[in-house]
Amino acid sequence: MSKNIIAIDAMGGDNAPKSVIAGLAISSIRNPTVNYVIYGNKNIIAPLLKRRTNLINMTEIVHVEGLVGDDEKASKALRRAKDTSMGQAIASVSDGAANAVVSGGNSGALMAMSIFGLKRLEGISRPALAAIMPTVNGEILALDLGANIECSSQNLVDFSIMGIVFAQKVLGRPHPKFAFLNVGEEENKGKNIIHDAVKIIEGESLKLFYDGYIEGNNVNFGKIDIVVSDGFSGNIMLKTAEGTAKLCSEYLRQVFNASLLGKISYFIGRSAFLAIRKKMDPRKHNGAVLLGLNGIVVKSHGGTDSLGFAHAVDLASEMSLKGYNEAIKHQLTELKLTEIKK
């Protein structure tokens, strides 16, 4: 594949396909070398594209009548995958016609179809859902965020490798540090699967990137680049962070509305308040990636708008342009090298 082609499921998400096309228009300006193939109802999509002159030249529409329902069971969606915009977009990646797929549709269906359609990368025991979270001085990659409720030690080790390659390729950090999410920093704290994962790492060159355990209150403080956990704990962490950030915004709103001085202060400092809102804008970190498959899969939040969808497309574009999947194949061998050659 010489070109960078992103397959777009235009029919997934609350405001699809309108927010999808508007998001593509934004992302296309930031990534002018990418091409898109849009899967969905041509009769709705084509008129939306008409006004987007720059986008038209980068885009092809493939008409698909069916779509995956928001509440549709993953097993049912999987059976009729090829009749849906989501399923056809994924198939285009497995056929090699596209490098990546982006969808704002049903998460369970997207995971099931992607795992079934794209298959796991050789050497990866389970795929993982990963996303970028804000820290005080930058960003951190967190995985798994919910693809695997129960995990083995080997799963955690594989997630670490996928995270390291992501940090190197996409975040541009040549020597990233990863840590396991845990309830304490001492060696004997927490779950056995974590202790056993540490033992596996001890014998591999992966060890060079390992930075111990990290607790929930330190994740945002920029000491490491990747936080690795089972999917249950990772999901709790990500969503608690979302909820707490929302709570802080709400407190801010309440308190500055409560008095005249507060309102004046808000008026004078509104550029500062806007800057905070921008810093905390969840759309900036929209897009969770399903890592570990033969192809790039990005899940956009179903409730996001065009700006959020654009960030998800940016992520898919960057991963494609920077050759994430090629790199991971190489690194899988490197990082699992045992130091004592047999």
Strand, coil or helix: 217 = coil
User: Which strands, in side-by-side order, build the sheet including 226-228?
Assistant: 59-63, 34-40, 4-9, 100-103, 296-299, 288-291, 128-135, 138-143, 226-228, 178-181, 210-214
Q: Which residues contact 273 (CB under 8 A, 6 or more apart)?
A: 252, 266
User: What is the chain's alpha carbon radius of gyration, rounded to the nearest angstrom?
Assistant: 21
- Bridge partners of 37, per DSSP, are 7, 60
- For its own copies, the closer CB: 200 or 252: 252
User: Least CB distance from residue 175 to its own copies, whole Å?
Assistant: 24
Asked if residue 233 binds its own copies (CB under 8 A), the reply is: yes
What is the distance between the alpha carbons of residues 204 and 227, in angstroms, rounded to a whole number? 19
Q: Are 177 and 226 in contact (CB under 8 A)?
A: yes
Asked if residue 152 binds its own copies (CB under 8 A), the reply is: no
Q: In the set 56, 97, 208, 258, which binds its own copies (CB under 8 A)? A: 258
Residues that contact its own copies, how many (by CB under 8 A): 56
Asked if residue 239 binds its own copies (CB under 8 A), the reply is: yes
**Which helix (H) or strand (E) covers residue 62, if one does?**
strand 59-63
Q: In the set 43, 53, 57, 217, which binds its own copies (CB under 8 A)? A: 217
Strand, coil or helix: 181 = strand
Asked if residue 76 binds its own copies (CB under 8 A), the reply is: no
- For its own copies, the closer CB: 116 or 256: 256
Q: In the set 30, 246, 334, 339, which binds its own copies (CB under 8 A)? A: 246
- For its own copies, the closer CB: 198 or 236: 236
* Binding residues among 261-290 for its own copies as defined by CB under 8 A: 261-262, 264-266, 268-269, 271-273, 275-276, 279-280
Asked if residue 202 binds its own copies (CB under 8 A), the reply is: no
Checking phi first, is residue 127 left (phi over 0); if not, alpha (psi -120 to 50) or beta? Answer: beta
Binding site for its own copies (CB under 8 A): 134-136, 146, 149-150, 181, 183, 190-191, 215-221, 229, 231-233, 235-248, 250-252, 255-256, 258-259, 261-262, 264-266, 268-269, 271-273, 275-276, 279-280
